[in-house]
Structure 1
Amino acid sequence: MTPRPIESADLWWRNAVYYCLDIQVFQDSDGDGDGDIQGLNSRIRYLADLGVTCLWLMPFFPTADRDDGYDITDFFAVDPRLGTLGDLVELLRVARAHGMRVIVDFVMNHTSAEHPWFVSSRSSKASPHRDWYVWRDAPPPNPDPPVFPGEEDSTWTKDERTGQYYLHHFRAHQPDLNIAHPPVQHQIERNLGLWLQLGVSGFRIDAVPYLFSGAASHGTETAGDYGGAEHLRRLGEFVTMRHGEALLLGEVNLPHEEQLQWFSADGKSAGLQLQFDFVSMQQLFLSLARKDAHPLAAALRDRPQLPPTAQWANFVRNHDELTLDKLAPDELEEVFEAFAPEEGMRLYGRGIRRRLPTMLGDERAVRLVYTLMFSLPGCPVLFYGEEIGMGEALEVEGRYAVRTPMQWEADASAGFSTAPQRRWTRPLPGGDFGPDRVNVADQRRDPTSLWRHIQRLSTLYRDTPELAWAQLEVIGVRQRAVLAHVCRGDDWAMLALHNLGDGREAVRLEISADDGPVTLIDRFDDSSMRVEGRLELDLDAYGWRWLQISPADATIRRV
């Protein structure tokens, strides 16, 4: 059984509810068409009411604005369109007063080509910043493929001024920093230290395998004996020394076993405390496409045992394309055909640029999916707008289709901004997913809304801290559409059942319990039922049950 974590403030992240947002499209306070920090500050109470306990901010730094803020020109400042450092500190204060921590995106895999460091680096081979980036006389024989196929032909681009090639795993206007170079490592520590001193509670680290491997894997002279995982552990120690409660949440899109090297050994000082479970997320969509829980069940069984204070971040949809790169080619095509039948709904040959409600087309299924996510050991992560079932705007290019303005009200401006829409960063979705049909105000007034359902899930999750750290047991079932799993902690256990079928048929399940009479208590309505040997129960189409088991050590057999 997984040991119970130490009950202390420095492990606050162990059962937090995370919420990711882009300040620029969340709330505009001054009518210029861009969301800003003061606008976000005015919505902190809303997030607290939803049950959010950790806010994850996408990049808010000065930028060349060619990759939605991920092409940074200054790591030590706030984009003036969004506000000031003073605004950010006030946001951190207000969030903390509402029981909410704030983590920020850490994006030092690359800079903008307009960053002063790169401007200096490319000016001359003798530049003091030359080794801050990865330069070669010619690309290596077998270069890494571009992260964004179709947008770049190579991860190496020739700079005519000096005749050498520079590395960029992402886009040519985003050159990779040479992370193995000590002066760059010093800048990373300075940057982390600044935001920790201002009051952030940790970092979501972007593209971990790229961030901590670039120079070492490309034979630069400064790489030496550089080891990415060891560097990350040193950074973890630095962060803990500066802020004992700080969290490192990593984007590590690798098979489960390969993720282990990046995890923290003790949850405090050596690596990542949390990593996104990309594998299970992708298998979830294969299960949804097939109306068959077996792919997801297999992925969950495959989760390796983690150190006592490291855990998974569970998510349905993040801020990028819905990446499906860990699926086999035929599986990928199944998911594409089910949820992205048109070419314009797909991206980079591996992902879908749609939100969940438009893909599934049935709010019952949407509620089921989020209920399943909250039922899994680990921490739930929401992307802004998921709580009201926002759609996408496919006329917006690339990943930006799912990063449209937050829909607060049922009017043409969605309550986002008083500026004319022609001045907005991005347009709103239309049709059934326009703000007149999908908005916060209407759903907060409706006790049966999706918003109220997500709020209830957040409350149940936070009221049951044992769930976050539970040991997961996936139970084999006769009904292929049903995922059945037991979560066990010390003196606590819950049976969770979710019907991923076609939405037309309920199913009847048979519960078998050993060790004498067992009581099952429904976590949603507090009703109870007694199992003496066997019990039959019905599960609605797209239905679910969370059943707390008493006594907690009772064995639940095949259902």
Structure 2
Amino acid sequence: MNPKWWKESVVYQIYPISFKDSNGDGIGDLRGITSKLDYLKDLGVDVIWLCPIYKSPNHDNGYDISDYCDIQQQFGTLEDFDRLLREVHSRGMKLMMDLVLNHTSDEHPWFVESRSSEDNPKRDYYIWRKGKNGGPPNNWESYFSGSVWEHDSTTDSYYLHLYAKQQPDLNWDNPAVVDELHNMIQWWLKKGVDGFRFDAIAHIVKAQGLPDAENPNHLPTVRAYQLFSNLDKVHTLLQNLHDKVLYFYDIMTVGETSGLGPHQALDYVGDTRRELNMVFQFEHMYLDAASPGSGKWEIKPWNLIELKKVMSEWQTVLHNQGWNANYLGNHDQPRPVSRFGNDLNFRVPSAKMLATFLLTLEGTPYIYQGEEIGMTNPSFDSIEDYRDVETLNFYHERRERGVPEEEIMKAIRKKSRDNARTPMQWDNTEHAGFTSKGQPWINVNSNYMEINVAAAQKDPDSIYNYYKALIALRKEHKVMVYGEYKLLLPLHTEIYAYTRTFEENKLLVILNFFDQQPVFEWPNDLNPEGAKLLISNYKTAAEEDILKLQLRPYEARVYLIS
């Protein structure tokens, strides 16, 4: 079992620019977060994960860092951060930072020096190459459209950027870069932070020689991705980081590692690997991609049997060997209730069902801000309402190809990262209580009058109070944390059911993922007489046949069987 505090924790992710504005400028900030700590404590979360708050030009909302050891002015000061950290700790919670180690901003002093001349001491802090045949050094494509190479006229050379051109990739083959990053991480740990989420950590090593890809598309199903993701040396570098820095602190670490399966993940999180505590996997995030290699914007309906297969493999392969990081949404993904639930006719029951799913799997659950009140995708009318660089690049690229605007906007309303980045909906006052007087940096979802924290706290049957109950149950029953997962009904197209077993206790989790009313037949090897209903998202009828449960739309039930 190997108990750890981070296995028993529930994490709440905050996107600072959209969480709470304290000074009326329309931008969320550190003091705003501090003002809402009692709300998070009441919800029951243990760890707060902050998306980047470092000094940044904000070409990619803070994931382009120009100073790792300073705070972005719009968020506040280092003194504001120190106060936030103290207040988090005084409430018995912990704080996890988001660190971008694959790249910096092109305004970082290291890059300013690096691009200044070919013989600058920091030239090799980044990846530079001369062009080939009048064009870029190779045919790799960026995550944000176009080539990964940007020409720089100062030295007539190209630098590599897997993301936006303002995010040049660091050269981890340079020991000086590694030392700089180790020292920076140590600086934050000495401040007292409790862990790190390592952004894009799978990409810090590129294939020797930077060869052309057979297919330049960057998706995980094709050759190019294998040239800059999850390469063997990544593990050597992470073990070095662990042994020299992380080992000396009782912290939690999670890596963003797209493009791998659970067996490959064990190379990162295996109990004997000395690398990371857990990783974010992306296989369930690709289930609505129209076809391998088609990209996130080409959408098909996701399939429950495929979801079961993906999640079950992660649950079983990592059991007693590593640890899962479970999530259904984050700052880069659509709202779960709009993607996996039904945000029109069954928003409340489907959001509760998804919460039940998230909090009854083995692994540390990550709740993204607003999930606990069932926030939805905003469905903005115009491209002018969007702010995300990936979304804007996609829009302009498709328009140049002659794709009809409504077709482009349909995809954007489904999959844009801005779906999760609209301001937190605190109450039904102007701008949803996010800001007192400023125009929010991005528009508030128009449904804030109905969906907001204040209303949810007053309603005993709200999604928020359901999350509170689930989190409390997880703290009470070790089987919800450490229990071994076993899938039931693998081929059922509507019901997702599984058991969790730990010592003398067993959980039976029954989830109806759709709006029909299928019948769940009680398993023969489970005694219904010893079953106690721990939680359900419906008020259960007094008289019912437990052996053949007719489930209501999006119904969730969790039974404890001793």
Classify the TM-score, shorter chain: 0.7 to 0.9
Report what 1:425 is aligned to: 441
Report what 1:48 is aligned to: 41
Report what 2:386 is aligned to: 396
Report what 1:313 is aligned to: 325
Shift of 1:518: 5.9
Distance 1:528 1:390, change over 3 A: closer
Please say which of residues 289-298 and 373-382 is displaced more in the overlay.
289-298
Report what 1:5 is aligned to: 2
Tell me how far apart the structure 2 counterparts of residues 355 and 518 of structure 1 sit (CA, whole Å). 33
Please list, as runs of the form range in 1=range in 2, the aligned pairs for 1:329-348 lying within 5 A after superposition. none
Report what 1:59 is aligned to: 52
Report what 2:206 is aligned to: 214
Aligned with residue 302 of structure 1, among 313, 323, 336: 313
Shift of 1:439: 1.1
Distance 1:547 1:390, change over 3 A: same
Tell me how far apart the structure 1 counterparts of residues 520 and 509 of structure 2 sit (CA, whole Å). 15
Question: Does 2:143 correspond to 1:147?
Answer: yes
Report what 2:295 is aligned to: none
Report what 2:104 is aligned to: 111
> Which one-letter code corresponds to 2:462 in the other structure?
S
Identity %, equivalent residues = 30
Q: Which runs of 5+ in 2 are unaligned?
A: 212-230, 291-298, 392-416
Distance 1:292 1:69, change over 3 A: closer
Asked whether the equivalents of residues 368 and 498 of structure 1 are also in contact (C-alpha less than 8 Å), the reply is yes
What secondary structure does 2:560 align onto?
strand
Asked whether the equivalents of residues 55 and 103 of structure 1 are also in contact (C-alpha less than 8 Å), the reply is yes
Report what 2:408 is aligned to: none
Asked whether the equivalents of residues 265 and 307 of structure 1 are also in contact (C-alpha less than 8 Å), the reply is no
Distance 1:31 1:364, change over 3 A: same
Q: Which runs of 5+ in 1 are unaligned?
A: 220-224, 324-334, 340-353, 551-559
Which string of whole-angstrom CA distances, capped at 9 and with x for unpartnered residues, describes residues 277-321 of structure 1?
A: 3223544999x9869632222113322523736311111111113
Which string of whole-angstrom CA distances, capped at 9 and with x for unpartnered residues, describes residues 481-509 of structure 1?
A: 111111122232211111113x1424242
Question: Does 2:527 correspond to 1:511?
Answer: no
> Which one-letter code corresponds to 1:438 in the other structure?
I
Distance 1:506 1:545, change over 3 A: same
Asked whether the equivalents of residues 521 and 528 of structure 1 are also in contact (C-alpha less than 8 Å), the reply is no
Tell me how far apart the structure 2 counterparts of residues 548 and 472 of structure 1 sit (CA, whole Å). 14
Aligned with residue 347 of structure 2, among 352, 362, 366: 362
Question: Does 2:196 correspond to 1:203?
Answer: yes
Asked whether the equivalents of residues 203 and 249 of structure 1 are also in contact (C-alpha less than 8 Å), the reply is yes
Report what 2:131 is aligned to: 138
Shift of 1:462: 2.1
Distance 1:258 1:132, change over 3 A: farther
Tell me the C-alpha RMSD between the 2 structures.
3.1
Aligned with residue 373 of structure 1, among 341, 358, 361: 358
Asked whether the equivalents of residues 520 and 528 of structure 1 are also in contact (C-alpha less than 8 Å), the reply is no
> Which one-letter code corresponds to 2:498 in the other structure?
H
Question: Does 2:499 correspond to 1:486?
Answer: yes
Q: TM-score, normalised by structure 1?
A: 0.81
Which string of whole-angstrom CA distances, capped at 9 and with x for unpartnered residues, describes residues 496-530 of structure 1?
A: 111113x142424233126x88611211279999x
Distance 1:429 1:527, change over 3 A: closer
Asked whether the equivalents of residues 324 and 363 of structure 2 are also in contact (C-alpha less than 8 Å), the reply is yes
Asked whether the equivalents of residues 262 and 318 of structure 2 are also in contact (C-alpha less than 8 Å), the reply is no
Tell me how far apart the structure 2 counterparts of residues 546 and 196 of structure 1 sit (CA, whole Å). 39
> Which one-letter code corresponds to 1:273 in the other structure?
N
Tell me how far apart the structure 1 counterparts of residues 425 and 307 of structure 2 sit (CA, whole Å). 32
Asked whether the equivalents of residues 292 and 482 of structure 1 are also in contact (C-alpha less than 8 Å), the reply is no
What secondary structure does 1:38 align onto?
helix
Report what 2:428 is aligned to: 410
Tell me how far apart the structure 1 counterparts of residues 313 and 443 of structure 2 sit (CA, whole Å). 41
Q: TM-score, normalised by structure 2?
A: 0.81
Tell me how far apart the structure 2 counterparts of residues 184 and 98 of structure 1 sit (CA, whole Å). 37
Asked whether the equivalents of residues 179 and 215 of structure 1 are also in contact (C-alpha less than 8 Å), the reply is no
Report what 2:555 is aligned to: 543
Asked whether the equivalents of residues 204 and 249 of structure 1 are also in contact (C-alpha less than 8 Å), the reply is yes
Tell me how far apart the structure 2 counterparts of residues 391 and 517 of structure 1 sit (CA, whole Å). 37
Please say which of residues 230-239 and 295-304 is displaced more in the overlay.
295-304
Report what 2:407 is aligned to: none
Tell me how far apart the structure 2 counterparts of residues 111 and 276 of structure 1 sit (CA, whole Å). 21
Please list, as runs of the form range in 1=range in 2, the aligned pairs for 1:116-127 lying within 5 A after superposition. 116-127=109-120
